[in-house]
Chain A
Amino acid sequence: GQQVMQIPQYQHVQEGEDFTTYCNSSTTLSNIQWYKQRPGGHPVFLIQLVKSGEVKKQKRLTFQFGEAKKNSSLHITATQTTDVGTYFCAGPSIYNQGGKLIFGQGTELSVKP
């Protein structure tokens, strides 16, 4: 079945440093979505990318969707303590009509002030 892998599993940074997490799917995705889960919280939708090679920015966050629509990345510039949490990528396969999302394992970001 479809698998979504994310690396790294954990990332510890000093406040102000940059952070990147990478996501790879075993199958072509119709879109890629990114979610943030704060400790003890629930996943919160950040963004969706649909087009091959698409790049979107949200303030200090930059999201990229690969040309083959099988990989994606999230880059945070100059991290802040409010960025702490686990970042998940998730995508529905192009072969799946029901839109079910398969989640990566997540990258847990901790930021030291």
Chain B
Amino acid sequence: EPEVTQTPSHQVTQMGQEVILRCVPISNHLYFYWYRQILGQKVEFLVSFYNNEISEKSEIFDDQFSVERPDGSNFTLKIRSTKLEDSAMYFCATRGTRGGYGYTFGSGTRLTVV
């Protein structure tokens, strides 16, 4: 079964440092999303991406966040200057154009800001 691959699985970073989280979507999927989940809490929408541009972003997705698809395969989330409250599990999710199949989530990157 096709998978969404995320790297790294765990990232520890100093406050103020930049991090880049990477995702390899399923090859024929066209809609890409980043979600985050603070430990024990619900899954929160960050941003959606389609046709090489942001479709929608949440209030969480401020100027410190950016996304891009630099080489047509990877889909990245960059946090420019990390804060302690950015510590969370970050999930990449993708979906195809056919209805009824939901999102496919990657296994996530656990980001710890110290």
Number of chain B interface residues as a range: 20 to 34
Instruction: Tell me whether chain B's interface is mostly helix, strand or loop, or mixed.
Output: strand
In the assembled complex, B31 has its CB within 8 A of some CB on chain A: yes
Q: Which of B33, B41, B44, B105 has most A Cβ within 10 Å? A: B105
Q: Is the CB of A42 within 8 A of B106?
A: yes
The answer, yes or no, to whether B91 is at the interface (CB within 8 Å) is yes
B48-A103 in contact (CB<8A): no
CA gap between A43 and B94 in the complex, in Å: 12
Q: How far is the CA of A35 from the CA of B101 in the complex (A)?
A: 11
The minimal Cβ–Cβ distance linking A24 to chain B, given in whole angstroms, is 14
Binary interface profile of A, 32-64, with partner B (CB < 8 Å = 1, else 0)?
010100000111111110100000000000000
Contact A48 B100 (CB under 8 A): yes
Q: Which residues of B contact A101 (CB under 8 A)?
A: 33, 45, 103
Give chain B nearest CB distance to A55 CB in angstroms.
16
Q: Which residues of B contact A31 (CB under 8 A)?
A: 99
Q: Inside 8 A of A113's CB, which chain B residues have their CB?
A: none
CA of A88 to CA of B100, assembled, Å: 17
Find out whether the CB atom of B31 lies under 8 angstroms from the CB atom of A103: no
Q: Is the CB of A98 within 8 A of B48?
A: yes
Q: Is A85 an interface residue (CB 8 A)?
A: no
Sample of 6 A–B contacts (CB below 8 Å) = A33-B102, A35-B105, A43-B105, A48-B101, A98-B55, A104-B42
B residues with CB within 8 A of A: 31, 33, 35, 41-45, 48, 50, 55-56, 91, 93, 95, 99-108
